[in-house]
Structure 1
Amino acid sequence: MKKIYLFIIFLVINFGALALGSWFMGDAVTGDWYSNLNKAPWTPPGWVFGAAWTLIMVFFSVYLSFLFSIRNSKFVFFVYGIATILNVSWNYVFFNQQLINLGFVNIILLTLMIVYFFITFGDDRLSRLKYLLLPYIIWLCIATSLNGYVVFNN
């Protein structure tokens, strides 16, 4: 029962963070600035981002519900908080403020935080569940490459 309760809490927090990030982004994706950027040839269509983030946040919420039922410490909460702040702030930094270099640093740090979750909190009790983080890690690697392309080609 505790895991279901935690799962619901993390779904609300994670999707709330996505909504906040989207709000920070505003209509920048359809605006002139973003439209005129040299973007990577492998940039997926817009609908892929929504589908990917939905799957990622559901998997991440499942993982977090197990993690926090096993290790409910201030340190784990701190790491999760930093990752959430980095996730939300990227939209603001990259799209709203158009600081593509700082956005690149931001997304690299977010990727490292999620890899840290995978390595550090993937002990025996979470050894199989840590693989729920792989879609997040893969997506962040793709997103980092997209951001990097913008940095180096604009």
Structure 2
Amino acid sequence: MKKIYLFILFLIINFGGLAIGSWLMGDAISGEWYSNLNKAPWTPPGWVFGFEWTLIMLCFSVYLSFLFSIRHSRVVVFVYAIAVVLNVSWNYLFFNQQLTTFALVNIASLTLVIFYLFITFRDDKLRYLKYLLLPYIIWLCIATSLNTYVVFNN
């Protein structure tokens, strides 16, 4: 029962973070700055972003509900808090402030934090659940490459 409550809590926090990030982004996607960017040829169509973030946050919430029920500690809370802040702030840095280099440092840091979760918490009970982080890791690698392309080609 505790895992269900944690799952619901993490769904609220994670999707709330996405909503805040979207709000901080404003209307930048339809704006002139983003429209005129030289984007990577492998930039996916817009609908992919909503689909992948939904999948990522569902998987991440399941993983976190098990992680927090097994290893609730200050370190785990701190690492998760850093991940949320980095995830939310990327939209603000990239789209709202157009600070693409700072956004690149931000997303690279987020990637390292999620890799840290993947590598560090791998005891017997989390051995297979850590693979729920793979959609997040894969997306962060793609997003980092997209951000890198923008930094070096604009």
TM-score by length of 1: 0.99
Question: CA offsets, 1:60-100, max 9 Å, x none?
Answer: 00000000000111110000000100000000000000000
Task: After TM superposition, list the pairs within 5 Å mapping 1:45-56 onto structure 2.
Answer: 45-56=45-56
Segments of 5+ residues of structure 2 without an aligned counterpart are none
Q: CA deviation at 1:32?
A: 0.2
Task: After TM superposition, list the pairs within 5 Å mapping 1:10-89 onto structure 2.
Answer: 10-89=10-89
Query: Which amino acid is 1:122 matched to?
Result: R
Alpha-carbon separation, structure 1, partners of 2:13 and 2:83: 12
% identical aligned pairs: 77
Aligned residue number for residue 107 of structure 1: 107
Aligned residue number for residue 9 of structure 1: 9
Aligned residue number for residue 96 of structure 1: 96
Alpha-carbon separation, structure 2, partners of 1:24 and 1:62: 26
Query: Size of the alignment, in residue pairs?
Result: 154
Alpha-carbon separation, structure 2, partners of 1:3 and 1:141: 29
Task: After TM superposition, list the pairs within 5 Å mapping 1:138-149 onto structure 2.
Answer: 138-149=138-149
Aligned residue number for residue 137 of structure 1: 137
Query: Which amino acid is 2:68 matched to?
Result: F
Structure 1's consecutive aligned runs of 4 or more residues displaced over 2 angstroms after TM superposition are: none
Q: CA deviation at 1:147?
A: 0.2
Query: Which amino acid is 2:7 matched to?
Result: F
CA RMSD across the alignment: 0.4
